[in-house]
Amino acid sequence: MTVARILILGGTSEGFAIARILGADARFDIISSLAGRTPAPKQPVGKIRRGGFGGVTGLNDYLTANAISIVIDATHPFAHQISRNATFAARRASIPIVHVWRDGWSRCRGDCWHEVDTIEQAADAIPSSARGIFLTTGKTSLGAFANRHDVHFLARIVAPISTDDGILRLPRNLQLICDRGPFRYDDERELLLAHEVSCIVTKNSGGEAARAKLDAARDLGLPVIMVRRPPPPDGPTVATADGALAWLERQLPHETTADASNLSSMPDG
Ligand code: NAP
């Protein structure tokens, strides 16, 4: 039986789910790649490598040196640099690649969204009349809010800030909480009330794990400043981990075609 070596670019629930399914399938030898920014990240099944590759050239060298035959780009929709690099590197190495591009959140009846294109525009869009601002845009974006001395920020980040993060400036009035999803509606609602949040700033990441805050914001009548996504990566794109697995089956020679029942029951997020 031919064993296909797959590189999964991860850091998301989809990457984790794909590694779990493929890791239990003898037809595949999988390596998950994590950027290495989060201390003690959730460990995917199978081999793991950490840290950047060194741009397109570094990634191309890695693909060749490790005899990777297929790349699954399951990175976050806002991680557009690595997706772009992966497209070029896979093209250069003449190997197939698929991008997992989960659906974004859509505005529902009752939502009060102000959509912007960048984090900087989000910082400018915060009304000075707002009391407390709940930021869920990630710790590397915090510097963009450093000039807003007129409001109080509550920022939720996955792991504490360290010197390695290279964050030069932080907002003066900032309270940090460290937590990772999935988040439940009741907890989100309670958090917004307890901290007297009057506006949320977030990125349109999509997925179920982080959407409860939007449901709570709608019910509490809170405005949301929503950063739009970058454009999708070039090349084949699927919306879910299941979609990536179905795509993978279509790349394989006939002899290695799987039992399709392995490809269902993936978690959301
Ligand atoms: P990014 O801006 O697209 O990537 C910046 C650089 O980080 C890349 O050029 C690459 O360095 C390295 N890198 C990123 N992801 C990598 C991976 N999976 N494996 C190896 N190197 C990687 O990425 P980002 O937005 O900082 O996100 C970093 C990671 O966090 C991603 O894996 C993503 O899935 C995850 N994540 C991001 C967000 C978000 O909001 N951006 C949210 C949740 C999870 P080299 O050029 O040196 O190869």
| Separation of alpha carbons 153 and 201, rounded Å | 10
Beta strands in 117-223 (DSSP E): 132-135, 152-157, 174-178, 197-203
Residue for token pair 């490790």: 66
Could you tell me which of 156, 139, 158, 138 has the C-alpha nearest to residue 39?
Answer: 158
* Confidence at residue 257, expressed as pLDDT on a 0 to 100 scale: 52
Mutate to test the pocket of ligand 1, among 12, 30, 37, 82 (most ligand atoms within 8 A of CB): 82
- Edge to edge, the sheet with strand 97-100 lists 47-50, 28-34, 4-9, 70-73, 97-100, 237-238
Per-residue pLDDT at 17 exceeds 50: yes
Q: Topology of domain 113-227, per CATH?
A: Rossmann fold (3.40.50)
pLDDT of residue 265: 37
Residue with CA nearest ligand 1 atom 38: 76
pLDDT over threshold 80, residue 267: no
> 10: burial class by Cβ within 10 Å (0-12, 13-18, 19+)?
buried
- 208-226: per-residue pLDDT in tens? 999 999 999 999 999 999 9
pLDDT digits (tens, 9 = 90+) for 39-96: 888 899 999 999 999 999 999 999 999 999 999 999 999 999 999 999 999 999 999 9
- Give the Å distance between the CA of 26 and the centre of ligand 1: 28
pTM listed for this prediction: 0.93
pLDDT attached to residue 255: 59
Ligand 1, from 42, 56, 81, 100: best to mutate by most atoms within 8 Å of Cβ?
81
Extents of the domains making up the chain:
4-103+231-251, 113-227
- CB 9 less than 6 A from any atom of ligand 1: yes
Position 264 scores a pLDDT of 37
Equal CATH topology for 4-103+231-251 and 113-227:
yes
Res 26 pLDDT > 50: yes
98 within 8 A of 248, measured Cβ to Cβ: yes
- CA-84 nearest atom, ligand 1: 3
CATH number of 4-103+231-251: 3.40.50.720
Question: Does ligand 1 have an atom closer than 6 angstroms to the CB of 269?
Answer: no
Tally Cβ neighbours within 10 Å of residue 62: 18
Q: Bridge-partner residues for 8, per DSSP?
A: 32, 72
Quick check: CB of 119 below 6 Å from ligand 1? no
Calculate what percentage of the chain has a pLDDT beyond 70. Answer: 94
